[in-house]
Amino acid sequence: MIRKRESLYYGDYLKIDDLTSLQVTESSKVGNDAHDETLFIIVHQVYELWFKQILHEINSICAYLSTDKLKDQDLAVCNDRLKRIVEIQHILLQQLQVMETMKPMDFLEFRDLLTPASGFQSVQFRQVELLLGFKLDSSMKGPVLGRLSENDQKIITETSNKTSLFDLVEKWLIRMPYCHNSQYDFWQEYSKSVQKMLAKDKQIISDNHLLSAEEIKFELSNLTLTSQSFEVLFDSEKYESQSKRRLGQNAMLNALFIFIYREQPKLAQAFNFLNSLIELDANFTTWRHRHALMAHRMLGSKIGTGGSSGHEYLKRSAEKRQIFTDLYDISSFLIPRSCLPEFPETLEN
């Protein structure tokens, strides 16, 4: 039986009264109203709402990837949701411009009242990092957990024990059938093409009369490094002992295969998925850099309210927090289409 519902009212559904009563400024509490503090609060609150939506999307993508066999239609849903996160990130980036309409002198009106509260304590931001695959190693545990309430520490510890998107993507890549195909050793063919390409490059460098002997030596030593990195990729023992990658060899090779043949209908969805992961990772890094610049502009060389070195700390953390770096590096192993082996027939149907 369908239950009769009361007619819904906009303000009740969206809890507008609750929402608009949540902007309580510290400056008004000390009787010295700082006009821009309302903007500061609203911008942070809007960020937190978007973080909530991002977590909702990441959790659902992780749930799909946790199944033993990811169906094509499920991968399509994951792609739509990753794209949604990427669009939200564009808004997150733009919001910094709204924040920057507040000038450093206006921030100083209330900044000291905020100490020791800080973005360090954004639990949802930390959850996003952890669910994507950032590891809370021993060097991070103190600085991150030490600043949080007991309840928030519990939430972070629980999140860090969950299987991350990175780990699920790696397992999904390993399950793909492209590495070992008994009827056709694809990677042997690929290696031959790579050797041909490198030999051609060597010839081009050696024959280049515009380069000095010193420059030729330098270019050739770079080529040797490229050749060595291919060797490591194709040799499981070398990969195990020499590679510093987080993705294992099979996952890396399968990702490379998807990148090479991304136009094949069978692989288009998988390619879009990996490409969106790279975009998502790059957008977070861009946000961190932009946020560090904003902190520099706002604070100069002052320390943060959370006690860090301020923009210096933020700049360093932008470099260290990339997660899907190995996917960026796939480009190092691409070769021109004209040199590619045939797409394996056994995979065509």
Q: Does 148 bind ligand HEM (CB under 6 A)?
A: no
- Cα 97 from Cα 1, distance rounded (Å): 51
Among the residue ranges 9-17, 234-242, 249-257, 307-315, the one whose residues contact ligand HEM (CB under 6 A): 307-315
Q: Does 110 bind ligand HEM (CB under 6 A)?
A: no
Q: Does 259 bind ligand HEM (CB under 6 A)?
A: no
Select 134 or 239, whichever has its Cβ closest to ligand HEM.
134
Q: Does 141 bind ligand HEM (CB under 6 A)?
A: no
Among the residue ranges 130-138, 178-186, 267-275, 313-321, the one whose residues contact ligand HEM (CB under 6 A): 313-321
CA angle 87, 88, 93 (to 5 degrees): 100
Q: Does 125 bind ligand HEM (CB under 6 A)?
A: yes
Q: Does 306 bind ligand HEM (CB under 6 A)?
A: yes
Q: Does 99 bind ligand HEM (CB under 6 A)?
A: yes
Which residue of 81, 233, 277, 310 would you call a contact of ligand HEM, by CB under 6 A?
Answer: 310
Which residue of 304, 327, 330, 333 would you call a contact of ligand HEM, by CB under 6 A?
Answer: 304
* Phi, psi of 245, rounded to the nearest 5 degrees: -75, 155
Q: Which residues of 156-177 are buried (b: 16+ CB within 10 A; e: fewer)?
A: beebbeeebbbebbbebbbebe
Residues 9-48 that bind ligand HEM (CB under 6 A): 43-44, 47
Q: Does 118 bind ligand HEM (CB under 6 A)?
A: yes
127 contacts: CB under 8 Å, gap ≥ 6: 51, 55, 155, 156, 159
- Cβ-contact 322, 219 below 8 angstroms: no
CA angle 189, 191, 196 (to 5 degrees): 100
Half-sphere exposure (Cβ direction) of 330: Cα atoms closer than 13 Å:
23
Interface contacts to ligand HEM, rule CB under 6 A: 43-44, 47, 99, 107, 118-120, 122, 125, 291, 294-295, 298-299, 304-308, 310, 313-314, 317
